[in-house]
Amino acid sequence: MEHRIHELKSAVPGTVTRLHSFHYGPQDSDRSVYIQASLHADELPGMLVAWKLKQHMAELEAAGRLHARVCIVPVANPIGLTQQLMDVPLGRYELETLKNFNRHYSDMTAVVAEDLEAVLGDKEADNTCLIRARFLAALEDTSPANALESLQLTLQRLACQADYVLDLHCDFNAVAHLYTTPAAWPTFEPLARYFGARASMLATDSGGQSFDECFTLVWEQLREGFGERFPIGYGTQSITLELRGQDDVDHDLSNHDSRAIVDWMMQLGLIHGEAPPLPSLPFPATPLSAMEFLTAPEGGLLVFHAHPGDQVVSGQLVAEVIDPISDVVHEVRASQDGMIYARSQRRMATAGMIVADLAGHESRRSGYLLAP
């Protein structure tokens, strides 16, 4: 195991912020996995899973069973982790810029693609190595303007050459679910089964240049530009695993989730051993464009009638928003058949607030598909 320390750009003199990465497996392996946790720093279930994965990887490495390079970043956002206000953690947005920590990562496609046609060849593996080297060089040549950009670039540099990128998140109050691309779904579908994903939502471009998509979109766009003339595969396949809700920092759950990742790696041959039989998938994969946010029409006391994991039909009552002064009760109903996979932790709704997330089957949205 190798422990690396990455010093980030300081916002002010006299302060130091560091990112820690842990590296396992044979140096000469031609396959690699990158795993990070708690990029939204108030989403802590993934941090516990990453810690347990560190123990798994150390044991597998010592036993000679690890056939891939594995990088684990258990605390992916030390900046957000320090943001506490009156005993409330505020880890989703960076307080100086008010930017979401999981949006607007650097798009390196244009830099990587510049004069690329002149050096591409007829072997996919060689083209993959070439593109990865250019991707890393482009990131290395980029200078961060502030602490947030320093964090984002450091994470991108660590992950950009990995075959598989796993970003561990959670929602407010939710069941296990995930986001990935249609192209990567065949690779991650076994992980969805081991994980027990109650919703699996697929999109090539969700519109926010999030961490997982800042890699996959480069490969998608290069395939579109050069794929008819040169063999270009998917050099990185990414997934965001949502480890239920913010309160689910639990040994039993984290044991299950870390084991699911190990079993998936075994199934891919990244770890020597026989993977367990694949469980059934609780709910089919659906387009992210079919996911809908159910919102409160007015402010008021929020009372739920549906729980995360409930399958609902169009028109079914999901929640009530009660005005205790006027006695008006506003109903929030399912907009289509699907799965309620997440809901708010707040119980006083504001007008227009997202109340619950519904994984539907009918695509009704386009463009920006993510929560703020």
- Using the 3D structure, point to which of 263, 283, 303 is the last residue of a domain: 283
- Using the 3D structure, point to which of 234, 256, 283 is the last residue of a domain: 283
Res 52: pLDDT: 98
Q: How confident is the model at residue 366 (pLDDT cuts 50, 70, 90)?
A: very high
Helix H, strand E, coil C: the string for the chain is: CEEEEEECCCCCCCCCCEEEEEEECCCCCCCEEEEEECCCCCCCHHHHHHHHHHHHHHHHHHCCCECCEEEEECCCCHHHHCCEECCEECCCECCCCCCECCCCCCCCHHHHHCCHHHCCCCCHHHHHHHHHHHHHHHHHCCCCCCHHHHHHHHHHHHHCCCCEEEEEEEECEECCEEEECCCCHHHHHHHHHHHCCCEEEECCCCCCCCCCHHHHHHHHHHHHHHCCCCCCCCCCEEEEEEEEECCCCCHHHHHHHHHHHHHHHHHCCCECCCCCCCCCCCCCEEEHHHEEEEECCCCEEEEECCCCCEEECCCCEEEEEECCCCCCEEEEECCCCEEEEEECCCCEECCCCEEEEEEECCCCCCCCCCCC
CA dihedral 28, 31, 37, 39 (to 10 degrees): 100
Res 330: pLDDT: 98
The answer on 200 and 182 residing in a single domain is: yes
Amino acid at 34: Y
The answer on 155 and 247 residing in a single domain is: yes
The answer on 321 and 181 residing in a single domain is: no
The answer on 313 and 208 residing in a single domain is: no
The answer on 162 and 100 residing in a single domain is: yes
- Alpha-carbon distances, residue 153 vs 16, 70, 81, 139, 146 (angstroms): 17, 19, 18, 7, 11
The answer on 322 and 274 residing in a single domain is: no
Task: Point out which residues pair with 178 in neighbouring strands.
Answer: 200, 241
Res 168: pLDDT: 99
Name the token pair of 162.
């990995």
Residue 9 lies in a domain: yes
Determine the length of the chain. 372
Q: How many domains does the chain have?
A: 2
Residue 372 lies in a domain: no
The answer on 101 and 63 residing in a single domain is: yes
User: pLDDT (tens digit, 9 = 90+) per residue, 294-348?
Assistant: 999 999 999 999 999 999 999 999 999 999 999 999 999 999 999 999 999 999 9
The answer on 295 and 278 residing in a single domain is: no
Q: Is the dihedral of CA 289, 171, 58, 156 positive or negative?
A: positive
- Using the 3D structure, point to which of 255, 283, 311 is the last residue of a domain: 283
Residue 269 lies in a domain: yes
User: pLDDT (tens digit, 9 = 90+) per residue, 178-226?
Assistant: 999 999 999 999 999 999 999 999 999 999 999 999 999 999 999 999 9
Q: How confident is the model at residue 22 (pLDDT cuts 50, 70, 90)?
A: very high
- Mean of all residue pLDDT scores within the chain: 97
User: pLDDT (tens digit, 9 = 90+) per residue, 89-143?
Assistant: 999 999 999 999 999 999 999 999 999 999 999 999 999 999 999 999 999 999 9
The answer on 249 and 169 residing in a single domain is: yes
Residue 170 lies in a domain: yes
Residue 370 lies in a domain: no
User: pLDDT (tens digit, 9 = 90+) per residue, 236-265?
Assistant: 999 999 999 999 999 999 999 999 999 999
User: What's the CATH code of the domain at 353?
Assistant: 2.40.50.100
Neighbours of 73 (CB within 10 A): 25
Residue 294 lies in a domain: yes
Q: Which of 12, 170, 198, 168 is nearest to 96 (CA)?
A: 12
- State what percent of residues in the chain have pLDDT above 70: 100
Res 54: pLDDT: 98
The answer on 347 and 205 residing in a single domain is: no
The answer on 126 and 56 residing in a single domain is: yes
User: pLDDT (tens digit, 9 = 90+) per residue, 266-296?
Assistant: 999 999 999 999 999 999 999 999 999 999 9
User: What's the CATH code of the domain at 40?
Assistant: 3.40.630.10
Residue 219 lies in a domain: yes
Res 259: pLDDT: 98
Q: Which domain holds residue 26?
A: 2-283
Residue 371 lies in a domain: no
Euclidean distance between the first and final Cα of the chain, in Å? 37
pTM, two decimals, is 0.97
Task: Please give the Cα distance from 321 to 131 (Å, whole number).
Answer: 52
The answer on 328 and 265 residing in a single domain is: no
User: pLDDT (tens digit, 9 = 90+) per residue, 49-91?
Assistant: 999 999 999 999 999 999 999 999 999 999 999 999 999 999 9
